[in-house]
Amino acid sequence: MNKRILLGVDTSFSTTTQCAICAVGDLFESNTSFDIFLLHAIQSTHVITEYPGHFTEQYAFIPPTSEQKKHAEEVLKKARATLEHLGFDLKHIEMMTSIGSPAEEIVRVARERHVNLIVVGSRGDGWRDRLRRMLLGSTSRRVLQLATCPVMVVLPTPPLKTHDLVPWYEQAIQGYLNEQNSFLTVLTAKEVATLFPPPQKKSIGTQEINAAEKALEQLASKGLLCRREIQGEVHYIND
Is residue 87 within 8 Å of residue 52, measured between CB atoms? no
The pLDDT score that the predictor gives to residue 143 is 92
Kindly list the domain boundaries of the chain, sorted by start residue: 3-154, 162-237
159: confidence class by pLDDT, cuts 50, 70, 90: low
Angle at 8 between CA 4 and CA 14, to 5 degrees: 140
Residues 6+ away with beta carbon under 8 Å from 158: 124, 199, 200
pLDDT one-digit tens code per residue, 2-36 = 789 999 999 888 888 888 998 898 888 766 678 99
pLDDT exceeds 60 at position 53: no
Is residue 144 within 8 Å of residue 107, measured between CB atoms? no
Three-class SS of residue 230?
strand
pLDDT one-digit tens code per residue, 191-239 = 999 888 877 666 788 888 999 999 999 999 998 899 998 888 899 998 7
Mean pLDDT of 153-167: 75
pTM of whole model > 0.75? no
Range with lowest mean pLDDT among 88-97, 130-139, 156-165: 130-139
Stated as kind and residue range, the H or E segment containing 70 is helix 66-85
Domains 3-154 and 162-237 in one fold = no
- Give the span between the Cα atoms of 212 and 173, in whole angstroms: 9
Q: In CATH, what number does 3-154 get? A: 3.40.50.620
- Residue in 203, 169, 199 with CA at minimum distance from that of residue 187: 169
pLDDT one-digit tens code per residue, 90-134 = 999 999 999 988 999 999 999 999 999 999 988 755 444 444 444
The pLDDT score that the predictor gives to residue 7 is 96
- Give the span between the Cα atoms of 114 and 28, in whole angstroms: 19
Alpha carbon distances (Å) from 93 to 38, 71, 84, 200: 7, 19, 9, 27
The pLDDT score that the predictor gives to residue 132 is 47
The pLDDT score that the predictor gives to residue 47 is 54
- Give the span between the Cα atoms of 227 and 11, in whole angstroms: 45
The pLDDT score that the predictor gives to residue 118 is 96
- At the top level of CATH, the class of 162-237 is mainly alpha
Residues 6+ away with beta carbon under 8 Å from 10: 16, 17, 40, 75, 102, 121
Mean pLDDT of 72-88: 91
- Give the span between the Cα atoms of 57 and 21, in whole angstroms: 42
pLDDT exceeds 70 at position 45: no
Is residue 61 within 8 Å of residue 54, measured between CB atoms? no
